[in-house]
Amino acid sequence: NAGVPFQFHEDGFLVLEHFFTAEECDSMRERIQSVVAEMEVPLHCRTEFSTKEKEQLQAQGSSDYFLTSGDKIRFFFEKGVLDEKGNFLIPKEKSISKIGHALHAHDPVFKQITHSSKVQELGRKLGLESPVVVQSMYIFKAVPVSLVSVTPHQDATFLYTEPLGRVLGFWIALEDVTLENGCLWFIPGSHTSGITRRMVRASPGTSTCVEFIGSDPTYEDNRFIPVPISKGGLILIHGEVVHKSKLNTSELSRHAFTFHVMEAKGTSWSKENWLQPTPELPFPSLYT
């Protein structure tokens, strides 16, 4: 479809309805159920705290857990769903906020979807010459605990490259995504003015694992447009387009699988990004 790139370049995002079949979506949801069923609660979520020192150790545990998750399958929880011993206060499948960041490399179902011929063909249509997969996430946006909205952001804040414009998100709706259950909202055309904020690895010895440089401007609400999409739909997201999602106020969850691709040709991945390729998992090529 020759219109694909034009609309994408114009708006900074593109909606492709029914890109994946209902069966493909169901296979991802079923697979994640077994991943959750076998999940071990990470150690840093199970410590009973008393002292300041223990709190610092726990924060360090969380930050190490996050910083070293680029080549693993790891679990990130909603706030307030675990007691201090790491027991679930609600059903565990409702307690997880996301699973990341290497499902595409370590799980056969998600690997197959990420490298599916449809995705590879789309990459070629978009003119990607040497695309590599940098990360993937399964996002639950479950109810009733997902009281988390995602504030306006640009993906390149977290996945910075030189030059900019080399990172692309693939966002797959695994069930119908509506205004009520927390669809994405975009500012069309906002991908053309660079980025104002970067998240970088903090210097060793600081109490946080990452820090922000620069600041986010305030975006007027009326510039955002909602992008509902049916189950199986794919939203392509330019690394610099401004987007957000609101609370899930419905009775329904909003599962999505998302992964990011970088055009590696002529691009340098910032050494300051939280996510780094490892000897165990160099960024795999999208094309197989």
The partner residues of 260 in beta bridges, in order of sequence, read: 135, 169
Residue 177 lies in a domain: yes
- Residues 151-169 have pLDDT tens digits of 999 999 999 999 999 999 9
Residue 288 lies in a domain: no
Q: What is the CATH number of the domain that holds 144?
A: 2.60.120.620
Higher pLDDT, 79 or 137: 137
| 3-state secondary structure at position 57 | helix
Give the whole-angstrom CA distance, residue 13 versus residue 16.
10
The backbone torsions φ and ψ at residue 44, rounded to the nearest 5 degrees and listed phi first, read -65, -15
Q: What is the DSSP letter of 229?
A: B
Residue 279 lies in a domain: no
Residue 199 lies in a domain: yes
Confidence band of 132 (pLDDT split at 50, 70, 90): very high
Residue 286 lies in a domain: no
Distances (CA, A) of 192 to 123, 203, 221, 241: 21, 31, 19, 8
Of 276, 14, 280, 72, nearest to 161 by C-alpha is 276
Residue 1 lies in a domain: no
Confidence band of 5 (pLDDT split at 50, 70, 90): confident
Residue 260 belongs to what domain range?
Answer: 6-269
Higher pLDDT, 206 or 145: 206
**Cis? peptide before 101, omega within 30° of 0:** yes
Give the whole-angstrom CA distance, residue 265 versus residue 268.
9
Give the whole-angstrom CA distance, residue 41 versus residue 60.
16
- Residues 94-122 have pLDDT tens digits of 889 999 999 999 999 999 999 999 999 99
Long-range contacts of 120-125 (CB under 8 A, 24+ apart): 120/286, 120/287, 120/288, 122/4, 122/16, 122/236, 123/261, 123/286, 123/287, 125/1, 125/4, 125/5
> What is the count of structural domains for the chain?
1
Of 75, 71, 65, nearest to 98 by C-alpha is 75
Residue 104 lies in a domain: yes
Give the whole-angstrom CA distance, residue 124 versus residue 87.
46
Contact criterion met (CB below 8 Å) for 19 and 172? yes
> Residue 47: its pLDDT value, please?
74
Give the whole-angstrom CA distance, residue 278 versus residue 123.
24
> Residue 53: its pLDDT value, please?
80
Residue 180 lies in a domain: yes
